[in-house]
Amino acid sequence: MTVIALNRCYPGIREKEAEIEAVVGQTDEGFEVRAALPGVDKEKITLFVDSGRLVIKALRESSFAQGREIRRELAQGEMKKEYYLPESVDVDNVSARFENGILSVRLPLRQQSGPRAVSIE
Amino acid sequence: MKPVKRSDEKRMDVARRYDPFRDFFDEFESMFEDFFRPGLVSRTEDSPALIHADIGEDDEKYMVRAALPGMDEKNIKVSVEDGVLSIQAERKEEESEEKKGYFRREIGYGRYERRFRLPDNVNLDKVDARYKNGILDIDLPKKEKGMSKKEIKVKGA
């Protein structure tokens, strides 16, 4: 089965935002993006789909609401991941689920209709 | 998770400057460096991937917040032995996910590990761990002052 690294095609991620770690795989119905967002509140995740683009943005707060941080290894603040979508993705039917720190975005493909006869008026 | 982005390096240095874990921690870590590889994608099947974590403290406790996205808490093991806190996790194959085998491989199917050498003042009897939203929270209460002090009576011959 193929894993398509769409992320490698996109160089335009701004330096100041941490890049969200994610993978893209192919499913029966299309593509699925799985993004690792451990410790992020669901309310702090935004997902945009517009013409040919999928944008995942998230805000991760400090791990420590109280006390002081003595070592940091996890990304904090604004995080982002952006993909160009193939035209075949059915953007009206994109759905997403957030569970155990993993955001799964399902990107079904449009139903392939064969050549269609067009009536001439 | 990637531990540090280039833009975070400065902040990281600041955070490290007053790190009481550092001496223990880094010495121990370097022993394992050859076995653990950071990064979820490029590692081989056999070697466990490195778990990344934030560490904090307040007056009562040390806090470890380890990133383990998409785990089942049943497959996470936390133990303390000889002053070393060890976290081990495994993402197991599940039948319902069979169709998504390629994801498991890519986002990190397999084993994860991390060890931290603990400061002496941790009360090991009260270590507490919870898994929620992809993060393993471990609280390590500090011993109350005087608890680690014990007077030894000197006996005569």
Q: Is residue A120 part of a domain?
A: no
In a domain, A118, yes or no: no
What is the reported pLDDT for B46?
A: 65
Q: Could B133 and A101 be called an inter-chain contact, meaning their C-beta atoms sit closer than 8 Å?
A: yes
User: Which residue from A94, A41, A62 is spatially nearest to B65, judged by alpha carbons?
Assistant: A62
Residue B113 CB-half CA count within 13 A: 15
Q: Does A12 reside within a domain?
A: yes
Q: B23 CB near a chain A CB, below 8 Å?
A: no
pLDDT of residue A41: 94
Contacts of B25 in chain A (CB under 8 A): 71
The residues near B25 (Cβ < 8 Å, ≥ 6 apart) are A71, B19, B116, B117
pLDDT at B93: 56
Among the partner residues A19, A71, A100, nearest to B69 by beta-carbon distance = A100
| Interface touch B69/A36, C-beta < 8 Å | yes
Q: What is the CATH number of the domain that holds A29?
A: 2.60.40.790
- Tokens 């090991």, located at residue: B124
User: What is the C-alpha radius of gyration for chain A, rounded to an integer number of angstroms?
Assistant: 18
pLDDT at position A8:
38
Q: Give chain A's domain count.
A: 1
* Bridge partners (DSSP) listed for residue B66: B53, B136
Reported ipTM: the value is 0.76
Please tell me if residue B7 touches chain A, with a CB cutoff of 8 Å: yes
pLDDT > 80? residue A49: yes
pLDDT along chain B (157 residues), means of 10: 43 45 46 39 63 91 93 93 90 54 54 88 92 95 77 87
Q: Domain range for residue A60?
A: 6-108
What residues does each domain of chain B span? Answer: 6-141
d(CA B132, CA B78): 15
Quickly state the pLDDT bin for A10 (edges 50, 70, 90): very low
The distance of B11 to chain A (nearest Cα, Å) reads 9
- Considering the segment(s) B6-141 as one domain, its CATH architecture is Sandwich (2.60)
pLDDT exceeds cutoff 80 at A16: no
**Could you report the per-residue pLDDT of A62-112, keeping only the tens digit for each?**
899 889 888 888 988 999 999 999 888 998 999 999 999 999 999 999 887
Asked whether residue A1 is assigned to any structural domain, the reply reads no
Output the pLDDT for position B79.
Answer: 94
